[in-house]
Amino acid sequence: MNIVILAAGMGKRMHSDLPKVLHPVAGRPMLAHVIDTARTLSPSRLVVVVGHGAERVREAVAADDVTFAEQAQQLGTGHAVMQALPQLDDNQPTLVLYGDVPLTTAATLKALVEAAGNTRFGVLTVEMPDPTGYGRIVRDAAGSIVRIVEQKDASEAIRAIREINTGIIVCPTGHLRRWLSTLGNDNAQGEYYLTDTVERAATEGIDIVSAQPAALWETLGVNSKVQLAEVERIHQRNLAQRLLEAGVTLADPARIDVRGELTCGRDVSIDIGCVFEGRVHLGDGVQIGANCVIRNSSIDAGAQVQPFCHIDSAKIGADGRIGPYARLRPGTELGEDVHIGNFVEVKNSQVAAHSKANHLAYVGDATVGARVNIGAGTITCNYDGANKFRTVIEDDVFIGSDTQLVAPVTVRRGATIGAGTTLTKEAPADKLTLSRAKQMTLDAWQRPVKKPKQ
């Protein structure tokens, strides 16, 4: 099958410099969703018709199996398909999709394509309570489709028809080529209408069949930010529904956003307000507290993430305790039962099993052993303004509060670092190391007092 995706339109009503089909749904351009769905039909040709912002659109969705056709001027849907014709294989039917209709399911497209086969014309139609703006499906007395009439060209009687053209059609490619070559633009919009091919087919005695989507939202198009937001919510509701059906507990399916691929083990629960981006995996029994943002990360079985954590490109081991208010940055790898508490930031660091940094710390470019305790206020000074250096903390170390580890520096196995230390040299194993100004008391000192106002 050939698939042509129309994506040349400007999207004036988006009031945006970004080409319309690149506006994201669930974090990805809506056109990318259409291309993904198209791929599930294994097309032999996949052509995207670009026009407005052509360069940006090409760049955004470039792939080996996608080719582009340029429509310099937007002269109508028929004209748009014409631009793709040189790339189409006449021996297979052509399916036309819209780049701004992102939620159509593969199952619906398959049903349409199957109904049409290799010889019939297929139109995806729906009955709308208010069909204003859409092309109307005109049927004869026997119920066969004979033409499609655009809203602006329609008489009162035709406007009363509630069955509309979703825009998605499939038809034999040789015929399509012929019909398009004779298309005119003598209509209310002065455009070359793809929909006019339906009347040609009917006149030539080609069977015209219709199929309907499983749900009305599948054919919603995006022309404005209002519609974009509606489509986003519908898509998110569908994703949440799938998670629920797979056994994930969601505190509120209306308050989760998945912008990528979220996979979950058994008995996972997710509180409200969480955002998942990229690929995220949550192992068995993982609990995610409210208002966490988790991107490209994996969280192993039994781990608990408390509210308000930001986790990016990190691995959390089994039974970890993270947050509240923890930030795990790229390259963080936490072993089993690691605790990262409030206002602790970890970056590009490995922390081995049973280690803890419970309060107000920065662990960057560090290798931390097992059973280490990192006291409140501890920071790795990993950056000299130009270079980054590593800190190594071996197993069973205890770092007292408010310690600065000036990298590169190593703390040997079992060492204890006294509170307030600025560590610039290696701390030997099993000993107490500290740097501290001597404490003193000035007996003669008196606290200044304000003079009473006269």
Which parts of this chain interact with ligand UD1 (CB under 6 A)? 6-9, 49, 51, 71, 74-77, 79-80, 98-100, 134-135, 148, 150, 164-167, 193-195, 221
CB nearer to ligand UD1: give 94 or 416: 94
State the minimum distance, in angstroms, from the CB of residue 118 to ligand UD1.
23
- CA dist., res. 184 & res. 222, Å (int): 27
DSSP annotation of 19: -
Is there a contact between 122 and 113 (Cβ–Cβ < 8 Å)?
Answer: yes
318 among annotated binding-site residues: no
Instruction: Report the catalytic residues.
Output: 359
State the minimum distance, in angstroms, from the CB of residue 3 to ligand UD1.
14
CB nearer to ligand UD1: give 74 or 358: 74
Residue entry with tokens 């996608």: 66
CB nearer to ligand UD1: give 150 or 396: 150
State the minimum distance, in angstroms, from the CB of residue 72 to ligand UD1.
10
For 97, 275, 378, the CA distances from 308, given in Å and listed in that order, are 41, 11, 21
State the minimum distance, in angstroms, from the CB of residue 224 to ligand UD1.
12
Contacts of 377 (CB under 8 A, 6+ apart): 359, 360, 361, 401, 402, 403
State the minimum distance, in angstroms, from the CB of residue 51 to ligand UD1.
6
- CA dist., res. 435 & res. 443, Å (int): 25
State the minimum distance, in angstroms, from the CB of residue 125 to ligand UD1.
9
437 among annotated binding-site residues: no
Cβ neighbourhood burial of 143 (10 Å; 0-12, 13-18, 19+): exposed
362 among annotated binding-site residues: yes
190 among annotated binding-site residues: no
How many CB atoms lie under 10 A from the CB of residue 408? 15
357 among annotated binding-site residues: no
100 among annotated binding-site residues: yes
20 among annotated binding-site residues: yes
CB nearer to ligand UD1: give 98 or 276: 98
To 10 degrees, what angle do helices 30-39 and 54-61 make? 50
Is there a contact between 190 and 73 (Cβ–Cβ < 8 Å)?
Answer: no
CB nearer to ligand UD1: give 4 or 352: 4
The dihedral region occupied by 14, where left means phi > 0, alpha psi between -120 and 50, and beta the remainder, is alpha
CB nearer to ligand UD1: give 136 or 295: 136
135 among annotated binding-site residues: yes
Please enumerate, as own/partner, the contacts of 112-120 that have beta carbons within 8 Å and a separation of 24 or more: 112/168, 112/170, 112/211, 113/1, 113/41, 113/170, 115/209, 115/210, 115/211, 116/170, 116/171, 116/209, 117/93, 118/92, 118/93, 118/172, 119/172, 119/206, 119/207, 120/171, 120/206, 120/207, 120/208, 120/209
Q: Which residues are annotated as a binding site for Mg(2+)?
A: 100, 223
Binding residues, by number, are 6-9, 20, 71, 76-77, 98-100, 135, 150, 165, 223, 329, 347, 362, 373, 376, 382-383, 401, 419, 436
* Residues contributing to the annotated binding site for UDP-N-acetyl-alpha-D-glucosamine: 6-9, 20, 71, 76-77, 98-100, 135, 150, 165, 223, 329, 347, 362, 373
Q: Which residues are annotated as a binding site for acetyl-CoA?
A: 376, 382-383, 401, 419, 436
